[in-house]
Amino acid sequence: MNLEPTEEQKAIIAQVRRFVREEIVPLEDKLDPDASELPPEDRERLVAKVKAMGLYGLDIPAEFGGPGIDMSTRVLLAIEMGQHRAGLYVPCYGVFGAAGLAQLYEATPEQKEKYLFPMLRGEKKAFFGLTEPSGGSDPARAIKTRATKTNEGWVINGSKVYISGADKADFGLVFARTDPERGRGGVTCFIVETSWPGFHVRRVIHTLRSSHYATELQFDELKVPDTAILGELNKGFAIANERLSRQRIPYAAQCLAPAFKAHEMAIDYAKQRETFGAKLASRQAIQWMLVDNEIDLRQSTLMCLAAAAKCDAGEPFRMEAGLAKLVASEAAGRVVDRSMQIFGGAGMTKDFPFERWYRELRIRRVGEGPNEVQRHVVARDLLGDSLR
Amino acid sequence: MAIRMTKPWVSLTAENVKALPGQLGVFQLANAAGEVVFIGFGGGRALFGIRSELDKAVADPPAGATQFRVEINQQYTTRYQELLMLHVHDHGAVPAGNLGKPLPTLGRLSPL
Ligand SMILES: Cc1cc2nc3c(=O)[nH]c(=O)nc-3n(C[C@H](O)[C@H](O)[C@H](O)COP(=O)(O)OP(=O)(O)OC[C@H]3O[C@@H](n4cnc5c(N)ncnc54)[C@H](O)[C@@H]3O)c2cc1C
């Protein structure tokens, strides 16, 4: 087992690191501290640069025209791309392109033409509508939104909460109960266009992530055709399971990006700042905080790379991906917290990016499968049937 | 939290603005008829938050603004977007004073 990046990986990492430091960070100095968008002219210029670097559409599978980057390299890139103020939720402000919803890669040819390809070209935006007021950890049981069969197709009634980007989306995936008698086996995934009558974005939900909000949706007699079903009837949870686990690995690595930057800043600061006649760096209390940061960062990076290595080798990696997500999201929060402490009052201000990282990292322990649920899934893998 | 701002309007004068705290938040400006003509925010880059932004409005009132109201809000970026979207929902367009100025990408809201 070799943990040293290859020459090719080192070259890509260096290129992306330079891009973040020379192109993104200087722009950020002029943006609002909570900004999540670049001015259009900067965005266009940087997208063109990324395309010239051959890295546009980083997460698009090679068979759909993406650059075909392996998961280990993707982990290393995630750690680089997010080392700026907005980097946790909008690494490089999205100029590397987005892969969109993994489930759509399993769509029918007609659905791909209508939704997937325009989404990959950046022409259409999508949302993912699973969570409901009745709960998101266990959607199989909690989903109350009903889709009822009619002669023309289906009629959907119900609501969703905490849905990101639905107000700006052209379409989205809505999970609805199609068989009330069955739990997990009674939920179907529908592709729903936001312009269809009966689709409503009722309110903005403000969260700690003040760069972009979540929304609450209501479906009021929303009519959808049979062709809107993604995958099979009553098998909404069976779509793209492996692709969704894959997504979890860069999600985990992304948590580490601001943590690496915070740690680097804390080290620099500790070497300069003096209290009681000596540098902070000379104090054991501070040294231990930095060592604990180093331990958190190394352990989490190794967990992400271990998950990526299994994924690249074509071996089962669901447990490793879940572990990487929960370890990295928790460790990154601790690293940013310690780094803020080393900065003292300055660490609490909007003059530095820590406060944004601190707020946004908190959400990572709930998003993409809450950490308790990740632990639950790992326990099931470890204990198998004896858990029941 | 009420989604629309409902506080009474205050006259847009240097004296009234001076009395504001230097906090982060959002604000609306209205003309004499009480019609919203501008929605803005005082963010982390403004020296004294909403007060600094309203100082600018006193010096150069956008779209004939004569009154203001503020809401102190740490989530000023998303609240700002929400207020703009609500205005578009209610009136079909962003306020006159926001036209021609950089705007965030706005979504569509249909509040009850
Ligand atoms: C900013 C933001 C954006 C979001 N975007 C989206 C989106 O785009 N689409 C979407 O569908 N959802 C989205 N969500 C919702 C998110 O996925 C859910 O919040 C999450 O799944 C948890 O669901 P819940 O909030 O209903 O908590 P609940 O399911 O009610 O759980 C409450 C708490 O109990 C814990 N818990 C649950 N079961 C167990 C157990 N067996 N043992 C121990 N602890 C347990 C959970 O981990 C959680 O901490 C978003 C959430 C946020 C905050």
Q: What is the largest CA-CA distance in chain B?
A: 38
- Is the CB of residue A130 below 6 angstroms from any atom belonging to ligand 1? yes
Inter-chain contact B45–A32, Cβ cutoff 8 Å?
yes
Ligand 1 atom 51: residue of nearest CA: A162
Q: Does the active-site annotation cover A264?
A: no
A359 and B CB contact within 8 Å:
no
Inter-chain contact B81–A204, Cβ cutoff 8 Å?
yes
CB-nearest partner of A201 from B77, B78, B108? B108
Tell me which of A23, A80, A132, A368 is the catalytic residue: A368
Domains of chain A: 7-100 (1.10.540), 126-230 (2.40.110.10), 238-387 (1.20.140.10)
Ligand 1 atom 19: residue of nearest CA: A136
Q: Which residues contact A96 (CB under 8 A, 6 or more apart)?
A: A50, A55, A56, A57, A58, A81
Q: What does the domain layout of chain B look like in residue ranges? A: 10-98
Q: Which CATH superfamily is domain B10-98 in?
A: GIY-YIG endonuclease (3.40.1440.10)
- Which ligand 1 atom minimizes the distance to the CA of A134? 26
Type of residue at A258: P
- Is the CB of residue A372 below 6 angstroms from any atom belonging to ligand 1? yes
User: Model ipTM?
Assistant: 0.92
Per residue, the 3-state secondary structure of chain A, as one string, reads: CCCCCCHHHHHHHHHHHHHHHHHHHHHHCCCCCCCCCCCHHHHHHHHHHHHHHCCCCCCCCHHHCCCCCCHHHHHHHHHHHCCCCCCCCCHHHHCCCCCCCHHHHHCCHHHHHHHHHHHHCCCCCEEEECCECCECCCHHHHCCCEEEECCCEEEEEEEEEEEECHHHCCEEEEEEECCCCCCHHHEEEEEEECCCCCEEEEEEECCCCCCCCEEEEEEEEEEEEHHHEECCCCEHHHCCHHHHHHHHHHHHHHHHHHHHHHHHHHHHHHHHCEECCEEHHHCHHHHHHHHHHHHHHHHHHHHHHHHHHHHHCCCCCHHHHHHHHHHHHHHHHHHHHHHHHHHHHHHHCCCCCHHHHHHHHHHHCCCCCCHHHHHHHHHHHHHHHHHC
The residue in chain B having the minimum alpha-carbon distance to the alpha carbon of residue A38 is B104
Ligand 1 atom 25: residue of nearest CA: A136
Please report, in tens digits, the pLDDT of each residue of chain A (388 residues total): 788 999 999 999 999 999 999 999 999 999 999 999 999 999 999 999 999 999 999 999 899 989 989 999 999 999 999 999 999 999 999 999 988 899 999 999 999 999 999 999 889 999 999 999 999 999 999 999 999 999 999 999 999 999 999 999 999 999 999 999 998 999 999 999 999 999 999 999 999 998 889 999 999 999 999 999 999 999 999 987 888 889 999 999 999 999 999 999 999 999 999 999 999 999 999 999 999 999 999 999 999 999 999 999 999 999 999 999 999 999 999 999 999 999 999 999 999 999 999 999 999 999 999 999 999 999 999 998 666 5
**Looking at CA atoms only, how far is residue B76 from chain A in angstroms?**
7
